[in-house]
Amino acid sequence: MKRFVDNRFGLLVLVVVSLAAMYGIAYATEPAVTPAQPPGPRKVPVESVTAVCPGTKGEQVNVYLPGTLNGEAMENGKPYVTKGPGGLEAGYLTRVTAGAGRGLAGVRCTEPAPETWLVGPGPANADVRLHLTNADKAPALADVQVYAAEGRISSDAGLGLELAPGEHREIDLKTLAPSADIMAVSVTTTFGRVAVAARATLETGGVDWLPAAAPPATRVVVPGVPGGGGLRRLLVATPGEADTVVQIKAVSKDAEYAMKGRETLDVPAGSVTALDITTGVAGSAAALVLTSQTPIVAGLIATGTGDRPDVAFTAGTPSLALGSAVARNTTGSHLLLTALGTQPGKVRVQVVPGKGPASPPYDVDIPAGRTKAVPLKARGDFAVVVTPVSGEVYGGRLVEERRRTGVLLTMQPLAPARLFTLLPPMTDTYNVVVP
């Protein structure tokens, strides 16, 4: 050993071996380090809401605030603007039983947004009127872009639309895309704030407002497909520069399944494609789950039955994670609720009448991978509030009225309530000030 220590190379080896042993022991006994999870969006309360309804002279707008419901008449045809604290909802229903505008039509008063998507019939088959409202005291500038079956329709007439403070503009979409039989419309606000709505009256009969569709995403859920007879037509738009193949699943009251012969849909880049799913859902209330490699926007056209069928629209919408409320409902209203994933869903439902105290809330259980129709047992005008309890749940509100000449109907997807919003994570970066 002495000879080994006296050897300078032996001493070096001994030191190296000792250090290696020490580091080996330290490494073996070091506690595992859990990698930091990337920050997710924060749920924060909404402090104030501005809601804008396109005007219809003489109709009543229902304005809901948590626990209360009030009706206010629109004295003229100008847009109705209401402002209030978080949780405010507003909307109205129109009911016409004769003439070209026969049908039930429901609209949710929308908030001004930087971008709004609408999906529905085109001007070749319907009278489609786009309503743009600048409810602020500052000017706004917006671009309107139309996508049709033949692709994106370039028109300078829809670009750089200036709206003065408080200005409302109604645009006949025939002036932008006269030959489109189906369409997706994007309204992008360059600066300022613009609220968007659109009303479609089919040449074959029926009228309703187009609900705002969820922005382009690779997974889109279209809830609230009504049961019963009539046509069901799915519309899918791919606003990007690449073609895509969309995988489609239906979720009905009995099963979650791929519709035979309609498992996929090819959608060319920058265009809209329609798919008849009438026999695929077989008259059952349902939701559609669409997935693709590139972002898509989706909606659905549903027609009623009878000699003079009405029409209703639904569209892709987020889940009920933030809750939802519909301010204007009436006799014949139903909730169509769908639970996705492997876990059952549960929501809490409360009816708030225009007169008298609110009804006690009650829970609704939805089996996993199923759609459930829930009749709303209330008379007159009322609001309905849906609060999430568990599971991944999507929904829509359907109003039906059966008449001798045909069923009147209107749909409204359950959009996120305005009580809370999700803020994306904030990070310290110079990129926000770098041009």
- Burial category of 295 from C-beta neighbours within 10 Å (exposed 0-12, middle 13-18, buried 19 and up): middle
What's the whole-model pTM score? 0.88
Q: For the segment 273-282, what is each residue's pLDDT rounded down to a tens digit?
A: 999 999 999 9
356-379 pLDDT, tens per residue? Answer: 888 899 999 999 999 999 999 888
Q: How sure is the predictor about 42, in pLDDT bands with cuts at 50, 70 and 90?
A: confident
Asked if the model's pLDDT at residue 432 lies above 50, the reply is no
> Which of residues 402 and 23 earns the better pLDDT score?
402
2 CB burial (10 A radius; 0-12, 13-18, 19+) = exposed
Tell me the pLDDT tens digit for each residue of 69-81: 999 999 888 999 9
With 0-12 / 13-18 / 19 or more C-beta atoms within 10 angstroms meaning exposed / middle / buried, residue 56 is: middle
| φ/ψ (deg, to 5) at 361 | -70, 155
Residues 153, 155, 159, 165: is their CA dihedral positive or negative? negative
Distance from C-alpha of 359 to C-alpha of 319, rounded to nearest angstrom: 24
Q: 49 forms bridges with which residues in the sheet? A: 84
Q: Where are the domains of the chain?
A: 47-422
Q: Tell me, what's the pLDDT at 9?
A: 57
pLDDT band at 404 (very low <50, low <70, confident <90, very high): confident
Return mean pLDDT, the chain. 90
Q: Summarize pLDDT for 282-340 with one digit per residue, the tens.
A: 999 999 999 999 999 999 999 998 888 999 999 999 999 999 999 999 999 999 999 99
Does the pLDDT value for residue 4 go beyond 70? Answer: no
According to the model, what pLDDT value does residue 428 have? 58
Residue 12, pLDDT score: 58
405-431, pLDDT tens digit by residue? 889 999 999 999 998 777 766 665 555
Residue range 236-262: average pLDDT?
Answer: 96
Handedness of CA 398, 315, 231, 100 (dihedral sign): positive
- Assign 296 to helix, strand or coil: strand
Whether the pLDDT of residue 25 is over 70: the answer is no
120: Cβ contacts below 8 Å, ≥ 6 apart: 126, 128, 182, 183, 198, 200, 210, 235, 299, 301, 313
